[in-house]
Structure 1
Amino acid sequence: MSFKIVEPQEFTCETNHYLIDGVKFPRVTRIKSIISNPGLVNWRLTVGRKKANEIMKVRGEFGSRAHKLIQLTLAGRDVNININDNEMRKTIELFYDFLDEHDIRVKLLEQRLWFKLTEKYKYAGTADFIGYVDGKLMLLDWKTSKAIYPDMWLQLAAYVVAFENLTNEKIDSCGILQIRDGKKNTPIVVHWNVLV
């Protein structure tokens, strides 16, 4: 199966939105950030705002680097895993284990998606992976967070709706591969209709 998403001429990422042909589309990650996460709120209160911001910045940068290395790996580029950062090296090694354990066929990486129901109800975001995993068409997200939180599934559901609307193809399921602290959790996979 082959599908292609033709992106609009103007599609730029801003802090809180994407600008698509002159129209602001809220970012899915920004929309979901307004949902209260009691665990995160309590943690911030426990460690203090300044320390929490420092930790979140470091973890965010780590996650961005891991995403980039995973993307390069899936695109067929050589990634040197003799990285000085021990945690990053373990993360990439665990991702290689995931690749060895499954039949992976990449269709789209870091794919920008958008959906517009009305002028008021619209959004855009970027899916980490769309392709076949063990013969099933899946949308996957890579996470280096400490846990998998419920709002992460809202993000994936939004991406699936946008993808299916843009391509008329049906996603079989979506999942999260969490790699953190030298451990790879078994990918949590759900049939995406469970999410909506």
Structure 2
Amino acid sequence: MARVRTIQRGGSRFYVHPEKPEIKHPGVTSVVAMLPKPFLMHWAAKMTAELAVDSLPFVEQMAERDRQGAVDYLKGASRRYTKVRADVGSRAHDLFERMVRGERVGHVHPDLEPYRDGFADFLKAVNPRLERAEDVAWSDSHEYAGSFDAVLTVWLDSDGKPTPDRSGTPLLLMADWKTSRDTYPDVALQMSAYAHADRIIAPDGTSEPMPEFDGAAVLHITPDGWAFKPVRIDDGVFAFFLALRRVFNWDRQESKTVIGRAIAKSTEKLITGTQRRALR
């Protein structure tokens, strides 16, 4: 069977149906991106201001030679930072997948060493069993899709703490790895969407129903340490994701249809003969 492909349209990722390429569903992260994040504007302004102050002589010299180049350099501060962090996150996710699958990982780039060591410590302390990794969650009912990090079985004691000897109660969890500075509430929207999808599609295109989950958890891992945190993915949380799914339709489809052609407008400004002669 055909595998699920992804394409980019208008800055959003879409997943292409493996058997019906005319069907394209928006990615979960693109839907969650509809959530207002006004703090990003202030953060981007702060990044630009800090760069300008910290590199003032360099910026002055650049501006003397190329004013627009200096503007673009400062304007791109937050974008460059985000790209660097995204690159580190992507490489760390690749590392985590190989490790959770049981692959022995030796030498890695120095930037990834703390992530490797932290994830190895997590595997030892929790000792999860990997059920699925990096497969596609596909919703026929609500028309979205997305690649989740992992489905794990974790054993917990009566206090909800992991039992690495697997003596506790086994629970099936939707799991996510985060390497950002902190864990943010929208991870619950993301994980609830995965867990409430209709089915899982494997890399070879085979499909099976999405299982019933006992819960979800996010592994927040940074160079300073790690924490495995439970995440709500109940129907209430999922309802908020579905609201954003409707907002996505508004943003990408309906908003482009609500304003029609002008049925009346001002007449063209009269151009005098003197003005025409001046244009010759």
TM range (shorter): 0.7 to 0.9
User: Identity over the aligned pairs, expressed in percent?
Assistant: 27
By percentage of residues, which structure has more strand? 1
Distance 1:14 1:66 in 2: 23
Q: 1:136 aligns with which of 171, 179, 183?
A: 171
* Whole-angstrom CA distance in 1 between matches of 2:224 and 2:209: 37
Larger radius of gyration: 2
Cα deviation, residue 168, structure 1 = 5.4
Aligned-pair CA distance for 1:164: 6.6
Query: For each residue in 1:85-105, what CA deviation from the matched residue of structure 2 results, as whole angstroms up to 9, or x when unmatched?
Result: 2x4101110111111111311
Which residue matches 1:169? Answer: 211
Q: Compare 99-108 and 41-50 and name the one that shifted more.
A: 41-50
* Deviation of the 1:17 alpha carbon: 0.4
| Selected match of 2:92 from 37, 60, 66 | 66
Superposed CA offset, 1:102-147 (max 9, x none)? 1311110101111022xxx410001101020112100110000111
Normalised by the length of structure 1, the TM-score is: 0.86
In 2, are the aligned partners of 1:172 and 1:192 still within 8 Å (CA)?
Answer: no
- Is 1:112 the counterpart of 2:105? The answer is no
Structure 2: gaps (5+ residues): 49-74, 156-169, 201-207, 239-280
What does residue 231 of structure 2 align with? 190
Question: Contact (CA 8 Å) 1:115, 1:122: kept in 2 or not?
Answer: yes
Q: How many residues align?
A: 183
Q: What residue in structure 2 maps to residue 4 of structure 1?
A: none
Instruction: Give structure 1 stretches of 5+ with no counterpart.
Output: 1-7
CA RMSD of aligned residues (A): 1.9
The AA in structure 2 aligned to 1:189 is P
Q: What TM-score, normalized to structure 2?
A: 0.61
1:147 aligns with 2:182: yes
What whole-Å deviation, never above 9, does each CA across 1:151-180 have from its counterpart, x for those lacking one? 221000000001678525310111111111
Q: Does 1:51 align with 2:51?
A: no
Of the two structures, which has the highest relative contact order with CA contacts closer than 8 Å and spacing of 6 or more? 1
Aligned structure 1 segments of 4 or more residues deviating by more than 6 angstroms? none
CA distance 1:191–1:29, change in 2 (3 Å):
closer
| CA separation of 1:33 and 1:167: change in aligned 2, threshold 3 A | same
